[in-house]
Amino acid sequence: MKDFRCFIDGEWTDALSKETFESFDPFTGKVWANIPKCDGRDVDRAVSAARRAFDTGDWSKLNATQRGHLLRRLGDLIARDADHLAATEVQDNGKLYAEMRGQVGYMPQWFYYFAGMADKVEGAVQPIDKPDMFTYTRHEPVGVVAAITPWNSPLLLLTWKLAPALAAGCTMVIKPSEFTSASTLELMRLVEEAGFPKGVVNVITGFGQDVGEAISTHNGIDKIAFTGGEVSGRRIAQQATGNFKRMTLELGGKSAQLVFPDANLDNAVKGVVSGIFAATGQTCIAGSRLLVHRSIHDAFLEKFLELAKTARMGDPMEMTTQVGPVTTQPQFKRVLSMIDMAKAEGAEVAMGGRRADRPECGDGWFIEPTVFVGVRNDMRIAQEEVFGPVLSVIPFNEDEEAYQMANDTPYGLAAGVWTSDMARAFTAAKRLRAGTVWTNTYRAVSYMMPFGGFKNSGVGRESGQDAIYDFLETKSVWLAF
Ligand code: NAD
């Protein structure tokens, strides 16, 4: 059993309540760590520390180039300790070690990229229309930023916020998901070792309803960078109006994969399988609706099931495992209930559709990779985010029908297009109302490419050059002479 502590003002500390809560290993279903149960008083402590660091601390005296050096050092330390960070996340969240090692190994790139941008944020002098005036703009850090993160990719989704916020000169209060706090706290050891001044990065742990709400209503916080579900995002947006906090919201999805008759079917099958079953379907970008042209529906499905049925389930630390457990017990129950709902709606099970009862899955929270056919796009299973290994297959006849169905959900996070016709690829990229459109590939992300959602999938973008401006205010300066 491991006991974790929070990180506030450069100190490792218990919650003021002295209470803790348990964190579970999804592979064994057993408790492996105790996490401090913070409350509003701890939020006050963390916000005060972040405010002091921002206003008068050593951090406020660093120039942008010096901030960039610290970010680069942190990137180097993450690269050095990638194995340990990945293993911590696997234990707490059940993701595959093989995937996590790659993901954590790639994380330093965000720190290097935004380190390079820190001292390239330039103001502008305007040819102002008034006589005897000189005007220019400055970009200044927005202030204290709260990062509220989900359980599905705790470190990567924090990195997308931490790197641009620190590059911009902000200070941070981080609240990881109550289900997966461990890896974020382990990362703080590296923040400390990199030499960030005290109070610049703080982590408090606890539940959304108390710590999370204390953050979203706290007037000492200037911006919230949130990734999580639509319901929580909506509540945070409503609560954050007290001081009109700036906000980026990265929310859920119901992304469609469109397979056209001219697609390379073998590649499309691989892309659709990994699009829905990687990370056990627990990604916001999960390609959970397969729209496949009627003329290739049966052939595609046959190849798809053949490949999907070979997926090896089991211990996420094993390099050969392909599908791990569901991360939390409530989510495990929720996915099973959504499977029952789809059956009740009349969708037919082509594969899976139940808890995985395989010896290699032990007592873990495993669900068989599940495929529903005979789905209509207006069924709840095709409209609501499952956040689990469940695919709905829907045939289409015309391209136009495919675009309309793909766009016909409240979400707009991502879409996949499989075609060998480049004109069709460009048309689809234009027609699909989603923040990311992948063609003949799926799930690729990069520090250079903006990521975020249309419609109910969120507000704002992470990654890419513009992301740093979400952590900056623009000031107009006027001088008369
Ligand atoms: P969640 O919304 O339940 O929790 C996310 C975080 O918000 C947690 O830290 C939680 O404690 C906190 N929280 C919950 N209620 C709160 C409140 N009222 N006030 C303040 N904080 C609150 O989400 P989850 O179950 O951890 O994650 C799954 C969801 O995240 C899915 O919907 C998924 O699509 C979404 N997600 C989106 C992206 C993206 O980039 N768009 C990426 C990953 C996950």
Kindly state whether residues 150 and 97 are assigned to the same domain.
yes
Q: Is residue 447 part of a domain?
A: no
Collapsing DSSP to helix, strand or coil, 269 comes out as helix
Q: Tell me what pLDDT residue 309 has.
A: 94
- One-letter amino acid identity for 243? N
Residues of the chain with pLDDT under 70: none
- Tally the C-alpha atoms within 13 A of residue 374's C-alpha that lie toward its C-beta: 10
Whole-angstrom Cα distance, residue 435 to residue 445? 12
Kindly state whether residues 333 and 210 are assigned to the same domain.
no
Q: Tell me what pLDDT residue 50 has.
A: 98
Helix (H) or strand (E) holding 407, with range, is: helix 399-407
Q: Tell me what pLDDT residue 55 has.
A: 98
Q: Is residue 449 part of a domain?
A: no
Collapsing DSSP to helix, strand or coil, 72 comes out as helix
E-strand stretches of 337-396:
348-351, 370-373, 390-396
Q: Which residue has the least CA distance to atom 10 on ligand 1?
A: 208
Kindly state whether residues 271 and 237 are assigned to the same domain.
no
Evaluate: CB of 216 within 6 angstroms of ligand 1. Answer: yes
Q: Tell me what pLDDT residue 66 has.
A: 98
Kindly state whether residues 367 and 463 are assigned to the same domain.
no
- One-letter amino acid identity for 137? T
State the distance from the centre of ligand 1 to the C-alpha of 244, rounded, in angstroms.
21
Q: Which atom of ligand 1 is nearest to the CA of 457?
A: 41
Kindly state whether residues 9 and 127 are assigned to the same domain.
yes
Q: Is residue 446 part of a domain?
A: no
Evaluate: CB of 227 within 6 angstroms of ligand 1. Answer: yes
| DSSP-assigned states of every residue in 183-214 | HHHHHHHHHHHHTPPTTSEEE----IIIIIHH
Kindly state whether residues 283 and 406 are assigned to the same domain.
yes
**Are the CB atoms for 5 and 28 separated by under 8 Å?**
no
Q: Which atom of ligand 1 is nearest to the CA of 160?
A: 40
**Are the CB atoms for 17 and 39 separated by under 8 Å?**
yes
| 22, 87, 292 from 102: Cα distances, Å | 28, 12, 31
Kindly state whether residues 158 and 265 are assigned to the same domain.
no
Number of folded domains that form the chain:
2
Range of the domain at 136: 2-251+457-477
Q: Is residue 408 part of a domain?
A: yes
Report the Cα 320 to chain-centroid distance in Å: 25
Evaluate: CB of 103 within 6 angstroms of ligand 1. Answer: no
Q: Tell me what pLDDT residue 5 has.
A: 98
Kindly state whether residues 238 and 339 are assigned to the same domain.
no
Q: Which atom of ligand 1 is nearest to the CA of 230?
A: 32
Q: Is residue 238 part of a domain?
A: yes
Helix (H) or strand (E) holding 257, with range, is: strand 256-259
Evaluate: CB of 210 within 6 angstroms of ligand 1. Answer: no
Q: Tell me what pLDDT residue 159 has.
A: 98
Phi, psi of 346 (to 5 degrees): 105, 5
Q: Is residue 448 part of a domain?
A: no
CA dihedral 448, 453, 458, 459 (to 10 degrees): 60
Q: Which of 284, 328, 390, 451 to mutate to test the pocket of ligand 1 (most atoms within 8 A of CB)?
A: 284
Q: Other CB atoms closer than 10 Å to residue 478's CB: what's the count?
A: 10
Q: Tell me what pLDDT residue 300 has.
A: 97
Kindly state whether residues 263 and 408 are assigned to the same domain.
yes
State the distance from the centre of ligand 1 to the C-alpha of 376, rounded, in angstroms.
28
Q: Which residue has the least CA distance to atom 12 on ligand 1?
A: 208
State the distance from the centre of ligand 1 to the C-alpha of 430, rounded, in angstroms.
29
Please give the ipTM for the structure prediction.
0.95
Look up residue 83 and give its two tokens: 């194995």
- Tally the C-alpha atoms within 13 A of residue 203's C-alpha that lie toward its C-beta: 28
State the distance from the centre of ligand 1 to the C-alpha of 168, rounded, in angstroms.
24
Q: Tell me what pLDDT residue 37 has.
A: 98
| 79, 284, 369, 379, 392 from 255: Cα distances, Å | 32, 9, 17, 15, 11
Give catalytic residue positions: 250
Q: Is residue 178 part of a domain?
A: yes
Kindly state whether residues 283 and 399 are assigned to the same domain.
yes
State the distance from the centre of ligand 1 to the C-alpha of 153, rounded, in angstroms.
11
State the distance from the centre of ligand 1 to the C-alpha of 225, rounded, in angstroms.
11
Position of tokens 């999370």?
212
Evaluate: CB of 463 within 6 angstroms of ligand 1. Answer: no
The CATH number that applies at residue 364 is 3.40.309.10
Q: Is residue 450 part of a domain?
A: no
Kindly state whether residues 230 and 358 are assigned to the same domain.
no
Q: Tell me what pLDDT residue 229 has.
A: 97
Kindly state whether residues 266 and 184 are assigned to the same domain.
no
The CATH number that applies at residue 110 is 3.40.605.10
